[in-house]
Structure 1
Amino acid sequence: MLPAVHRLRRSTDFAAAIRDGRRAGRGSVVVHLYSPTPVAVSGPPQPEPAPSGGTGSPSPPPRAGFVVSRAVGNAVRRNTVRRRLRHLVRDRIPGLPAGTTLVVRALPAAATSPYDRLAADLDAALAAARGPRRPGRRPR
């Protein structure tokens, strides 16, 4: 199970990640990855500020949420897909930067995909969402 600090619960958080995040779809899943601070792609790493005596708030942990619509199947099938995705994301969430919001949307193909195929699709979609933008594409 995904720890409580890593769960998205409010619809406003889901909407913000879907609206402002980077989207990538692969096979049976679509991921929306939103990071409030842009990640520097080049240059020397900047040192992190020293923690103050507890007056500053620590950076928020990465959080994840799941969207599994009725198009995926009946309630049993949807919950099975959601549990599989939750288990897969639990292993990948430590690799996300602090403050990142991840929304994983299951496509109807997720209902019949084997576990290893679902994992491969999730990994490919996360890699595409974290990678550089393709040149020549303009946001709408």
Structure 2
Amino acid sequence: MLPRPARLTEADGFRAAVRSGRRAGSATLVVHWHDQGPEPAQVGFVVSKAVGNAVVRNRVKRRLRHLTREHLRELPGRGVLVVRALPDAATARPARLDADLAHGLRRVLTPRSAS
């Protein structure tokens, strides 16, 4: 379970992260990071009906919450992280979800180089 201050519950936070934040995708997840958010950083999850029925969606959310809690220390002090599950997340092993989450976090949290 995520600590209460780390839970994203407001629609505006989801909207800002998805529309204005940085994005990194994989076969099972899309990670959105918007660094102009509340302090401490908050995390939200989007698991649509395309992932599966209610039982499958809730299982995926539980796994993602558990994995994300382990990565909270990597997040900067303020911002919004939205983890969106793709249909392949329903059948992915937890190790695969963790690898995809870690990869997505590295990509969205690494500053872009000036070109």
- Give the TM-score normalised by the residue count of structure 1: 0.77
Report the structure number with the largest CA radius of gyration: 1
> How far, CA to CA, are the matches of 1:90 and 1:24 in structure 2?
19
Listed one character per residue, the Cα deviations across residues 32-81 of structure 1 (whole Å, up to 9, x for unaligned) are 001129xxxxxxxxxxxxxxxxxxxxx81111000000000000000000
**What is the match of residue 11 of structure 2?**
11
Kindly provide the amino acid, as one letter, of the partner of residue 41 in structure 2: P
Structure 1 residue matching 2:50: 3-state secondary structure: helix
Structure 2 residue matching 1:125: 3-state secondary structure: helix
Listed one character per residue, the Cα deviations across residues 87-133 of structure 1 (whole Å, up to 9, x for unaligned) are 00001012211112100000000000000001001011111112244
Gaps of 5+ in 1: 38-58
Gaps of 5+ in 2: none
**What is the match of residue 31 of structure 1?**
31
**What is the match of residue 103 of structure 1?**
82
> How far, CA to CA, are the matches of 1:28 and 1:135 in structure 2?
29
Deviating 4+ runs (over 6 angstroms): none
Q: How far 1:135 sits from its partner (Å)?
A: 7.4
Percent identical pairs in the alignment equals: 51
- Give the TM-score normalised by the residue count of structure 2: 0.93
> How far, CA to CA, are the matches of 1:83 and 1:34 in structure 2?
23
Distance 1:135 1:107, change over 3 A: farther
Q: State the aligned residue count.
A: 115
Structure 2 residue matching 1:71: 3-state secondary structure: coil
User: Is 2:33 the partner of 1:21?
Assistant: no
> How far, CA to CA, are the matches of 1:18 and 1:120 in structure 2?
21
**What is the match of residue 65 of structure 1?**
44
Judge which range, 123-132 or 99-108, deviates more.
123-132
Kindly provide the amino acid, as one letter, of the partner of residue 70 in structure 2: D
**What is the match of residue 55 of structure 1?**
none
CA RMSD of aligned residues (A): 1.7
* Richer in helix (by share): 2
